[in-house]
């Protein structure tokens, strides 16, 4: 599947680093890329070099491996803390199979899953060592992980760290530790590598622009940058949107309507702390209208651990069976629905959809009646079958009906036409997906040019700019998705045209 959404941003920045050799202050479209520190791009580069390939699956591999690591990390922690292997498996699998993550984000090469592993561990070690009274390790390990997180995504890491430190210290009645030498020295573990990076960056580019952008990247998603109506609506819609993003496991939170569940969680220090860490950290996103599911993947385990543990404590398998059975059946039959949606765009046989569904039903019935299987495992089986159906039908459907395949084809064609020659985007940009495939074909970055033009170079230019057809040789045409604007690949002969003034 072609790179889509934010994927080509990570790819283009990593590509610029490899091609131009600047691993500190990379560019995208010829301008310094300021939105994120470079650590995740370095990780992508390692995979490109190890596999000697820039194929899509190589680019997405860090995200996939991080997903597996996320689940295993949650499993180990829950098993160690609650001494229940079944519960640990259910919560670990729930962490990686929640709606948005399982169906959408898991197959995209975004930064967020890798960042979530680091941030989740960053918060957990504070609790783990703080509970033992070993504040030196609690602060040192947590701030070390925070420095890694900052080098991936910037300011959100500082917010997570600040809220979590205050929460853990207050719960442990150790707030005075905020002024302790171990805490103050541990902040240096965070500040030192970040400070070194910023100093090195200042040797390559304007550090003030980088800092301004890092701050604005975070503040632009807050209530201060959104209208009152957007912010007000978000306060009420956020809980619903979040629970939808982690379905079906988000249904477990309704167990807290029962007093017995609340009492059980509040009586267990680990479950209580997990819930409070979730509640205090999620507030920032509850107040941020520009919410995306991937921003809070690292917080989801802190909600699922107490919710699912309370469910399995309060309700027996027999009581859970009607709900889990309905969910399982819906998930198992979902390949049929996916087939009906996708068949008009993708040539897929209905035999596969029916076979997948029948197989799912047979497994479901076998597990229900032949073996004594916990009902939560039926939901897991349904999620696996649904994901297989999604991979088999909906991913090809998204490729065929979405814009990214055409952008890939156009990018590759232009890359082949211009390989070995100079190519620039004339006072404008094309889609990032298209730019990535041009970059790969040419093994050279494609930049927006606003000066230093050459009659020997190729240019991608809005077709409307071409008034004097005798002045150009046209080699390729396409339509840019943004604004549905026609573009042409040209060479200018004797003059460079003016771009039309932007409408105010």
At 347, is the pLDDT very low, low, confident or very high (cuts 50, 70, 90)?
confident
Q: What's the CA gap between 14 and 46, in Å, rounded?
A: 10
Per-residue tokens: 471: 């002045």
Percent of the chain exceeding pLDDT 70 equals 96
Per-residue tokens: 341: 């949606």
CATH topology of domain 406-492: D-Maltodextrin-Binding Protein; domain 2 (3.40.190)
Instruction: Look up residue 487 and give its DSSP letter.
Output: E
Q: What's the CA gap between 412 and 434, in Å, rounded?
A: 8
Q: What's the CA gap between 320 and 140, in Å, rounded?
A: 43
pLDDT tens by residue, 403-458: 999 999 999 999 999 999 999 999 999 999 999 999 999 999 999 999 999 999 99
Contact call for residues 146 and 161 (beta carbons, < 8 A): yes
pLDDT tens by residue, 260-314: 999 999 999 999 999 999 999 999 998 888 788 999 999 999 999 999 999 999 9
Sign of the torsion angle spanned by Cα atoms 184, 190, 193, 194: negative
DSSP H helical ranges for 370-403: 375-389, 395-401
Q: What's the CA gap between 458 and 350, in Å, rounded?
A: 47
- In this prediction the pTM is 0.93
In the chain, where the domains are located? 7-313, 316-401, 406-492
pLDDT tens by residue, 67-79: 999 999 999 999 9
Sign of the torsion angle spanned by Cα atoms 195, 199, 202, 208: positive
- What Å distances lie between residue 185 and 124, 144, 157, 176, 317, CA to CA? 20, 12, 18, 15, 50
Average pLDDT of the residues of the chain? 91
DSSP H helical ranges for 104-227: 112-131, 135-153, 156-171, 181-202, 207-219
Per-residue tokens: 214: 């890092």
Picking from 199, 193, 200, 195, the residue whose alpha carbon sits closest to that of residue 22 is 200
Contact call for residues 398 and 5 (beta carbons, < 8 A): no
Q: What's the CA gap between 503 and 247, in Å, rounded?
A: 44
């Amino acid at each position: 599947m072609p790179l889509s959404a934010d994927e080509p941003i990570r790819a283009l920045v990593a590509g610029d680093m490899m091609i131009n050799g600047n691993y500190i202050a990379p560019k995208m479209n010829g301008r310094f890329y300021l939105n994120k520190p470079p650590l995740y791009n370095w990780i992508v580069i390692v995979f490109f070099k190890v596999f000697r390939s820039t194929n899509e699956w190589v680019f997405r591999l860090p995200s996939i491996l991080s997903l597996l690591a996320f689940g295993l990390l949650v499993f180990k922690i829950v098993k160690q803390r609650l001494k229940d292997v079944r519960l640990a498996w259910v919560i670990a699998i729930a962490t990686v199979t929640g709606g948005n993550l399982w169906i959408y984000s898991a197959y995209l090469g975004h930064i967020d899953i890798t960042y979530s592993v680091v941030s989740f561990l960053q918060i957990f070690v504070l609790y783990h060592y703080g509970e033992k009274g070993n504040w030196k390790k609690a602060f040192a390990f947590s701030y070390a992980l925070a420095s890694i997180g900052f080098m991936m995504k910037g300011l959100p890491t500082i917010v997570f760290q600040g809220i979590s430190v205050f929460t853990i210290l207050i719960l442990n009645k150790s707030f005075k530790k905020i002024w302790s030498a171990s805490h103050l020295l541990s902040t240096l573990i965070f500040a030192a590598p970040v400070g070194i990076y910023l100093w090195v960056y200042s040797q390559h580019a304007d550090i003030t622009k980088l800092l301004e952008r890092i701050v604005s990247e975070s503040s632009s998603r807050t209530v201060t940058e959104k209208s009152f109506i957007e912010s007000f609506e978000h306060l009420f819609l956020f809980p619903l949107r979040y629970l939808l993003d982690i379905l079906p496991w988000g249904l477990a939170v309704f167990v807290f309507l029962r007093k017995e569940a609340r009492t059980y969680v509040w009586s267990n220090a680990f479950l209580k702390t997990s819930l409070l860490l979730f509640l205090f950290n999620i507030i920032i996103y509850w107040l941020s209208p520009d919410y995306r599911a991937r921003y809070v993947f690292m917080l989801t385990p802190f909600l699922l651990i107490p919710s699912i543990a309370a469910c399995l404590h309060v309700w027996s398998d027999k009581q859970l069976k009607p709900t889990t059975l309905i969910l399982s059946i819906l998930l198992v039959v979902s390949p049929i629905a996916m087939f009906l949606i996708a068949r008009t765009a993708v040539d897929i046989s209905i035999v596969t959809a029916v076979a997948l569904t029948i197989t799912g039903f047979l497994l479901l019935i076998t597990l229900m009646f032949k073996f004594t299987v916990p009902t939560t495992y039926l939901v897991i089986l349904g999620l696996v079958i649904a994901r297989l159906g999604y991979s088999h039908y909906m991913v090809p459907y998204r490729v065929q009906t979405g814009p990214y395949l055409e952008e890939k084809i156009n990018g590759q064609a232009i890359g082949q036409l211009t390989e070995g020659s100079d190519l620039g985007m004339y006072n404008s940009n094309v889609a990032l997906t298209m730019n990535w495939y041009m970059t790969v074909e040419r093994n050279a970055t494609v930049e927006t040019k606003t000066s230093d033009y050459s009659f020997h170079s190729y240019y991608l230019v809005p077709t409307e700019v071409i008034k004097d057809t005798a002045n150009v040789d046209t080699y390729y045409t396409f339509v840019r998705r943004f604004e549905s604007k026609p573009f042409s690949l040209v060479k200018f002969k004797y003059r460079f045209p003016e771009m039309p003034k932007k409408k105010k």
